[in-house]
Chain A
Amino acid sequence: MEITINFKEEKEILHVLVKGEIDAYTAPKLRDKLDAIEIEEKANIAIDLSEVTYIDSTGLGVFVAFYKRATRETAHVRLVGLSERIKRLFEITGLSDLMDIDTDKKVELS
């Protein structure tokens, strides 16, 4: 299963649109893309997961690492558009208490 990652900047928010399954095989690609983002102080970043059907623990690790880096730069990261299944994964792991998670928001990529 392939993964695609697109970026869109809108109203001072950087939207990251991820599509596909995030597992041990696709996670390195996502990590590289997220690592390449130059995070500015107090930046707002929204990662849209509405087109993501599956995340395994390696995928969670990528988000945790990105979240930690962004927090160090005082940026704000939100995860939006999570399916019930993925939301449950963030809840079980306790990450939903740490990260800003929103299940409804969806951004159209023009």
Chain B
Amino acid sequence: MEDLEREYHKILADYVKEQSERTLYIGQNFVRQLIRRNISPEDVVSLHKDAVETIYPAQFDELRLAYDFLIEMMVHYGMAMREHQSLLQKQAEIQMEMNIAANVQKTMLKTPIPSDMTIDIGMLSKPLKNVNGDYVHFIDDKKYISVAVTDVVGKGVPAALCMSMVKFGLESMEEYAHDPEHVLGVLNRIVERNVDDSMFISMFYGCYLREWGLFYYASAGHEPAFLYRAEENKFYDLEAKGMLLGIVPTTKYKRSEVLLEDGDIIVIVTDGVTEFRRDDTVDERQVVASLIHDVKGLPAQSICEYLYSELEEMQEFELKDDFSVVVIKKV
């Protein structure tokens, strides 16, 4: 510290004598040295105080109290500053971990979209935050294509952790993938056993039989899917009552079915798509149906993207929930 005192005294004395650019430059370098040696703000003021006292011994008594006060202030300033810096650092660490988690999840929840001569499938799933509480899972078999659209209560990390459980459950049951009642029944028991009372998952599970053009489905407390009938130019709800996953371990699920004709479209969504208003003034499902109708001629993937961009715009580009949509179009 003594060497610093000597050095600062010289720099200040030089500057008082002759206000040159060179002295300012030396001052700048001196600051770097202070930072390198981790000198606190109050010690810097103290250095200045001692140097002023040596240079202006006669006038200094009047200023002493003011300097002491400033040193006290700087002690608190330094503490607040260090606390702030440590919070910033912690925040950066958390953000980095979140980014890694989001990437892990992205890789883990990746699901290839099946294709077929008779149907065109599109899918879009966007998380509200870094990680997604929605999940879409496809199973592509020679005879059928299965799709599960899932929404975990809540958003962010807790929902994402829960989602991994659903993915592994679905993957471990691939031989039953053509059986919605069975899949939902097993998942329900897994979820019920592993989550707390306030947590649950909704799922719409559908299966398309390639040869027959038949789509059958069951729902665990999920929003009804939309069915557009091309011949009638009309929308229907694919209602399928069933309890949310994770509430009652003995729940049984029921299947319903619909035969798809050319041009028919099934749109499966999560509530992030249809819950964009908090009041009763607008029938949100009607709005979504009318958007689908506007672009029914486009490829399935384009319909998904159109829905996302229109609904995002309606909410002034601030979606309030994870957003997932699957479009299945009979061609």
Contacts and interface: CB of A to CB of B under 8 A. Distances in A.
A21 B247 contact: no
Interface stretch (B28-36, B170-178, B221-229, B257-265): B221-229
Given A57-B153, A58-B154, A92-B223, A98 B243 contact: yes
Contacts of B233: none
Contact of B224 (A83, A92, A98): A92
Interface stretch (B43-51, B87-95, B273-281): B273-281
Given A83-B280, A95-B247, A98-B247, A61 B220 contact: no
A8 B154 CA distance: 30
A93 B280 contact: no
Given A53-B278, A58-B153, A60-B153, A94 B198 contact: no
In this complex, the interface size class of chain A, counting residues with CB under 8 Å from chain B, is 20 to 34
A94 B153 contact: no
Contacts of B220: 94
Interface string B265-295: 0000001000100111000000000000000
A31 interface: yes
A61 B202 contact: no
A24 interface: yes
B244 A95 contact: yes
B244 A94 contact: yes
B189 to A, nearest CB: 16
A5 B109 CA distance: 40
Interface string A34-70: 0000000000000000000110111011101100110
Which secondary structure dominates chain A's binding surface? helix
A104 interface: no
A45 B196 CA distance: 22
Contacts of B244: 93-95
Nearest to B224: A92
Which secondary structure dominates chain B's binding surface? loop
B198 A62 contact: yes
A47 B142 CA distance: 51
A57 B154 contact: yes
Nearest to B155: A24
B198 A61 contact: yes
Contacts of A69: 197
A33 interface: no
A105 interface: no
Interface string B133-174: 000000000000000000101110000000000000000000
B180 interface: no
Given A93-B202, A95-B243, A21 B278 contact: yes
Interface string A82-101: 01110000011111011000
Nearest to B197: A65
B13 interface: no
Contacts of A56: 275
B200 interface: yes
Contacts of B243: 93-95, 97-98
B98 interface: no
Contact of A94 (B151, B154, B196, B221): B221
A20 B222 CA distance: 25
Contacts of A93: 202, 221, 243-244
B199 interface: yes
Interface in B182-229: 196-200, 202, 220-224
With a 10 A CB-CB cut-off, give which of B155, B198, B275 has the most chain A CB atoms.
Answer: B198
B242 interface: yes
B100 interface: no
Contact of B271 (A57, A64, A95, A97): A57
7 contacts: A54-B278, A57-B154, A61-B154, A64-B200, A91-B241, A94-B247, A98-B248
Which 4 A-B pairs have CB atoms at the shortest separation, nearest pair first?
A94-B243, A61-B198, A93-B221, A65-B197
